[in-house]
Chains A and B, each alone.
Chain A
Amino acid sequence: MASVETAASAAASTSEAASASEAATLQDGIYLQPGPLPKELRLAVLDFAPGTGTVAAGAAVGAIYALLGELREGVVRELAATRPDEPDVEIDPGTFDFLLGYGASFFDPERGLTAAARPDLLTPLAHPRGPFASLRWAPGVPARSGEGDLCLQLTGRDSHAVGRALVEIWKLIADERLPLTIRESFDGFARDDGRSWIGFHDGVSNIRPSQRLAAVRCTGDPDWNRGGTYLAFLRCAVDLPAWRELTREEQEVLVGRDKLSGCALERVDTVDGRLVPRPFAGCPATATATPEELDVFRDPPETGDPILESSHIHRSNQNRSEPTTAAGHRIFRQGYEYLEPMTATAPGLGLNFVSFQSSLEHVRQILGLSSWLGGVNFGGRTPGSGAAGPEPIEIVDLRAGGFFVVPPRARPFPGAELFGTFDTSPRHA
């Protein structure tokens, strides 16, 4: 079956083949191989109707999964021939990938959707105090925004590909009277300049491809998710006007990078009371450097400078460890920017933070520990700590968010065994 181009990369070496074999248990839509992400994201959350039984629920998920499988092969049910002598109309195959996850509410025993126990750290984010120590809900966000019994991550080469998939699901739900509601969906796009809305490079020090599988793949607990993963979705709004009030130097110290080249800072000097960022010596100028040359300087080494440690790129990865080191709390990020329709006020924009990790503990720790991102909203010194560093800034809040367990591939669909009614052997499709 064809897939979006960035997802497919033939494994050449033995080790690559072994990794590919392990990676094969992961659902599509997790892009461990080097290369750009598919251009478009649409992440939908769905709820089962109250009173839906486990058999009906499983059948509904199976029907949606089958529909998406057909659609990815180019089959649009509505365009099947219905008159003599006319051919079926097919569309381009492999224009999108889809990934199915289950949210905390799916495991609520009172819902009766599954007999399986909720994975321990798969908890709702909808807490009135905010989901995380320094990352809070934006005012007026509806309850459970971003959470659902199910999530579908659709990623594809263009907005039509992912949009069509979601609309086809809507049609199926309506036509088949499936006990499901598409409650919300969130769109986003990948930027090919590697930058975020605040103008800085983002994701350039993500985990190297050879290490991604270790960061992503769940090794058990619960056993039914062995070979699967966990998805964290956080739709983070950015207060661009507040960010733009800072000077370039102030921004660079908070981020920990040079704004233009993306090079990590080696140190921060104090000159006339100002903090002056100093990128690593030898970091090539943007105009002449190749991306490979710049990459060397973008992954920052560990530092003992408390000002640098207070920057965003260090707070999000203080130990700078490999993914197999549990206390490194490494996660594989796969974010997509978003821009809401413009109004007369400031643009509504931000990042659909999407990460995959072997345990949700790592996200909790990154966003909970005070010397990591639990102490501040974005970067800067932890208030009240007495530590060095610039004043922290609050520029990010949450518009939606949810945690989901993403079971491994299985027939007829990932997580089918949760419904207890399907033959799941052979285990992996």
Chain B
Amino acid sequence: MSAPGALEEWNGSAAAWEARVTETLGALDLPEQLKQATKGNATELRIPDWPAVPARARARFGRREADRMCDERAADGDDVGRTSLQDEYAEWRVVRDECGRAVRFELTTELADYWELLARYAPARAIDVVGEFAGVPVGRSAVFGAHNPFGATSTEDSRANAFCAEMLGRDRDGNGLGRRPGQYNNGAKAITCLARKDNSLAALAKLVAAAAAAPQLVVDPESGEARFPSGSEAIPTLWEESAKDGRNSDPVVVERIVRLATEGRTIRFDDPAGVHIVDVQLDELTDPGGAPLPREWCKLGRHGPPLPDGLARAQRLELEVPADAGFRLGEVRSRRTGTAIVHGAQIAELVQLAVYVRCGPRDAIAVDVPLRRLAA
């Protein structure tokens, strides 16, 4: 298995990532569809994809208010909008000028689990990359807090612990430490990786495993016909806290995985497991005069060399108008809304994410498929 994005940032990254994914899945009561899946018997590609903009927030608060709230920062600079609302396996920050106008947009889908491994095994590289994100070199404290990752007493575990405390505000088991992520992952100076617990490898693995463990058909309440359930119909039958209805991501992943499981297919994450950016509708953005933005203004990063399958594996997007362009990001217009870019959600809605899944042929596994009658 490769590292997310097919990155190769240290020797042994692929093995470390494979071990982490295996460990994460191993903590779950995996159904046969996942247990029996191998690279040899699960080869067909499936691509559940979804927009990066939080659907739950927009449904609850309305589009304009939700978009504003997603960017909201507390008086102390804490990115409360991100931590409370950005729940689509994508988190972003908007860098603003002194007048509050947007000048730069950064979005990441990098799983914190990978970054913990990077901090554990390649601390110097982790510090360098955070410096690249921040636009200026940073010291070790940016990533490790008070811990010296190069000290004689530093261990792999202590570096991982320090990274989690500083960059995620929690311990390695996900328990809160009564503090928020540091300024190189709370958007104040940079955004490094996904910080929310429900945007994690553990959440993604549980989502897929829970859906695979719930093969089923439902009886349509109006037509009386048996059919596959929708995401919303299936989610209440899954393991507790494995999926959130109303998200863009969870229902579409659940719906498609339940369908594969019901068909008796083996199912596995594609190699590498991760959440990848598969599309950016840059055509939907124009300069103040209506001309398209040059594609080079939108940088897709955090991916390695293309793999033979040719699939998109970027995990980071940065959009900024060059200083000599004569205008700033806040003057870029969204064709979709006919308005200038004020909030990051206006860009996030143009970013499409996916988790790549591989499956085997139908009926590879004997499945007992319950037929569930939906309440009218």
Spell out A's residues near B (CB within 8 Å).
13-16, 18-19, 104, 118, 120-121, 123-124, 127-129, 133, 208-210, 219-222, 302, 304-306, 318-328, 361, 364-365, 368-371, 374, 385-387
The answer to whether A221 touches B62 (Cβ under 8 A) is yes
The answer to whether A327 touches B290 (Cβ under 8 A) is no
Residues 303-353 of B at the A interface (beta carbon under 8 Å): 310, 335-339, 349-350, 352
Tell me the dominant secondary structure on chain A's binding face: loop
Q: In the complex, which residues of chain B have a beta carbon less than 8 angstroms from the beta carbon of A123?
A: 335-338
Q: In the complex, which residues of chain A have a beta carbon less than 8 angstroms from the beta carbon of B283?
A: 129, 133, 368, 374
The answer to whether B232 touches A324 (Cβ under 8 A) is yes
The answer to whether A369 touches B251 (Cβ under 8 A) is no
Residues 357-376 of B at the A interface (beta carbon under 8 Å): 359, 376
Q: In the complex, which residues of chain B have a beta carbon less than 8 angstroms from the beta carbon of A19?
A: 222
Top 8 A-B pairs ranked by shortest CB distance? A322-B230, A304-B44, A15-B376, A210-B222, A327-B50, A327-B252, A123-B338, A221-B62
Q: Given the complex of chains A and B, what is the CA–CA distance between A20 and B232 in angstroms?
A: 21
Q: Given the complex of chains A and B, what is the CA–CA distance between A293 and B370 in angstroms?
A: 25
6 pairs, CB–CB < 8 Å, chain A vs chain B: A123-B336, A208-B220, A210-B223, A324-B232, A327-B50, A327-B252
Beta-carbon contacts of B55-68 to A below 8 Å, as 1s and 0s?
A: 10011001110000
The answer to whether B255 touches A374 (Cβ under 8 A) is no
The answer to whether A371 touches B49 (Cβ under 8 A) is yes
Q: What is the minimal beta-carbon distance from B368 to any residue of chain A, in angstroms? A: 21
The answer to whether B45 touches A327 (Cβ under 8 A) is no
Q: Given the complex of chains A and B, what is the CA–CA distance between A124 and B292 in angstroms?
A: 17
Beta-carbon contacts of B233-256 to A below 8 Å, as 1s and 0s?
A: 100000000000011110110011
The answer to whether A321 touches B230 (Cβ under 8 A) is yes
Chain B residue, CB-CB nearest to A213? B222
Chain B residue, CB-CB nearest to A125? B335
A208 contact from B223, B281, B310, Cβ within 8 A? B223
The answer to whether A371 touches B279 (Cβ under 8 A) is yes
Q: Given the complex of chains A and B, what is the CA–CA distance between A210 and B233 in angstroms?
A: 14
B252 contact from A16, A127, A221, A319, Cβ within 8 A? A319
Does B278 count as interface, using CB distance less than 8 angstroms? yes
Q: Given the complex of chains A and B, what is the CA–CA distance between A371 and B312 in angstroms?
A: 11
Does B284 count as interface, using CB distance less than 8 angstroms? yes
Residues 210-242 of B at the A interface (beta carbon under 8 Å): 220-223, 227, 229-233
Q: Given the complex of chains A and B, what is the CA–CA distance between A324 and B236 in angstroms?
A: 14
The answer to whether B252 touches A120 (Cβ under 8 A) is no
Q: Given the complex of chains A and B, what is the CA–CA distance between A293 and B45 in angstroms?
A: 29
Q: In the complex, which residues of chain B have a beta carbon less than 8 angstroms from the beta carbon of A219?
A: 59
The answer to whether B251 touches A324 (Cβ under 8 A) is yes
Does B288 count as interface, using CB distance less than 8 angstroms? no
Q: In the complex, which residues of chain B have a beta carbon less than 8 angstroms from the beta carbon of A320?
A: 256
Q: Given the complex of chains A and B, what is the CA–CA distance between A320 and B259 in angstroms?
A: 11
Q: Given the complex of chains A and B, what is the CA–CA distance between A208 and B224 in angstroms?
A: 12
Spell out B's residues near A (CB within 8 Å).
44-51, 55, 58-59, 62-64, 220-223, 227, 229-233, 246-249, 251-252, 255-256, 259, 278-279, 281, 283-284, 286, 290, 292, 310, 335-339, 349-350, 352, 359, 376
Q: What is the minimal beta-carbon distance from B295 to any residue of chain A, in angstroms? A: 12
The answer to whether B281 touches A209 (Cβ under 8 A) is no
Q: In the complex, which residues of chain B have a beta carbon less than 8 angstroms from the beta carbon of A208?
A: 220, 223, 227
The answer to whether B55 touches A326 (Cβ under 8 A) is yes
The answer to whether A16 touches B222 (Cβ under 8 A) is yes
Chain B residue, CB-CB nearest to A122? B338
Chain B residue, CB-CB nearest to A322? B230
Given contacts A120-B64, A127-B290, A369-B279, contact A324 B231 (CB under 8 A): yes
Q: Given the complex of chains A and B, what is the CA–CA distance between A326 and B49 in angstroms?
A: 11
Q: Given the complex of chains A and B, what is the CA–CA distance between A133 and B281 in angstroms?
A: 9
Q: Given the complex of chains A and B, what is the CA–CA distance between A14 and B44 in angstroms?
A: 42
Chain B residue, CB-CB nearest to A123? B338
Q: In the complex, which residues of chain A have a beta carbon less than 8 angstroms from the beta carbon of B47?
A: 318, 371
Q: What is the minimal beta-carbon distance from A367 to any residue of chain B, in angstroms? A: 10
The answer to whether A319 touches B48 (Cβ under 8 A) is yes
The answer to whether A210 touches B44 (Cβ under 8 A) is no
The answer to whether B376 touches A13 (Cβ under 8 A) is yes
Q: In the complex, which residues of chain B have a beta carbon less than 8 angstroms from the beta carbon of A121?
A: 336-337
Chain B residue, CB-CB nearest to A132? B283
Q: In the complex, which residues of chain A have a beta carbon less than 8 angstroms from the beta carbon of B279?
A: 369-371, 374
Q: What is the minimal beta-carbon distance from A336 to any residue of chain B, in angstroms? A: 26
Q: In the complex, which residues of chain A have a beta carbon less than 8 angstroms from the beta carbon of B310?
A: 385-387
The answer to whether B51 touches A221 (Cβ under 8 A) is no
Q: What is the minimal beta-carbon distance from A380 to any residue of chain B, in angstroms? A: 16
Q: What is the minimal beta-carbon distance from A117 to any residue of chain B, in angstroms? A: 9
The answer to whether B376 touches A14 (Cβ under 8 A) is yes
The answer to whether A302 touches B230 (Cβ under 8 A) is no
The answer to whether B51 touches A327 (Cβ under 8 A) is yes
B230 contact from A120, A306, A325, A370, Cβ within 8 A? A325
Q: In the complex, which residues of chain A have a beta carbon less than 8 angstroms from the beta carbon of B248?
A: 326-327
Q: Given the complex of chains A and B, what is the CA–CA distance between A129 and B48 in angstroms?
A: 30
Given contacts A324-B251, A365-B51, contact A127 B223 (CB under 8 A): no
Q: In the complex, which residues of chain A have a beta carbon less than 8 angstroms from the beta carbon of B259?
A: 302
Given contacts A120-B337, A221-B62, A368-B284, contact A327 B222 (CB under 8 A): no
Q: What is the minimal beta-carbon distance from A279 to any residue of chain B, in angstroms? A: 17
Given contacts A133-B283, A319-B252, contact A369 B230 (CB under 8 A): no
The answer to whether A361 touches B249 (Cβ under 8 A) is no
Which of A123, A222, A365: most chain B Cβ within 10 A?
A365
Q: What is the minimal beta-carbon distance from A14 to any residue of chain B, in angstroms? A: 5
Chain A residue, CB-CB nearest to B284? A368
Given contacts A133-B283, A302-B256, contact A127 B335 (CB under 8 A): yes
The answer to whether B251 touches A304 (Cβ under 8 A) is no
The answer to whether A319 touches B49 (Cβ under 8 A) is yes
Given contacts A18-B376, A121-B336, A209-B222, contact A322 B255 (CB under 8 A): yes
Which of A127, A133, A327, A361: most chain B Cβ within 10 A?
A327
Chain B residue, CB-CB nearest to A15? B376
Chain B residue, CB-CB nearest to A223? B62
Q: In the complex, which residues of chain B have a beta carbon less than 8 angstroms from the beta carbon of A321?
A: 230-231, 251-252, 255-256
The answer to whether A120 touches B63 (Cβ under 8 A) is yes
Q: What is the minimal beta-carbon distance from B317 to any residue of chain A, in angstroms? A: 15
The answer to whether A304 touches B221 (Cβ under 8 A) is no
Chain A residue, CB-CB nearest to B253? A327
Q: What is the minimal beta-carbon distance from B44 to any residue of chain A, in angstroms? A: 3
Chain A residue, CB-CB nearest to B251? A325
Chain A residue, CB-CB nearest to B254? A325
Q: In the complex, which residues of chain B have a beta carbon less than 8 angstroms from the beta carbon of A325?
A: 230-232, 251-252, 255
Contacts A302-B46, A327-B252 known; 12 new A-B pairs at CB < 8 A: A13-B376, A104-B338, A120-B64, A120-B337, A123-B336, A133-B281, A325-B232, A325-B251, A326-B251, A327-B248, A328-B255, A386-B310
Q: What is the minimal beta-carbon distance from B65 to any residue of chain A, in angstroms? A: 9
Q: What is the minimal beta-carbon distance from A41 to any residue of chain B, in angstroms? A: 27
A374 contact from B49, B281, B349, Cβ within 8 A? B281
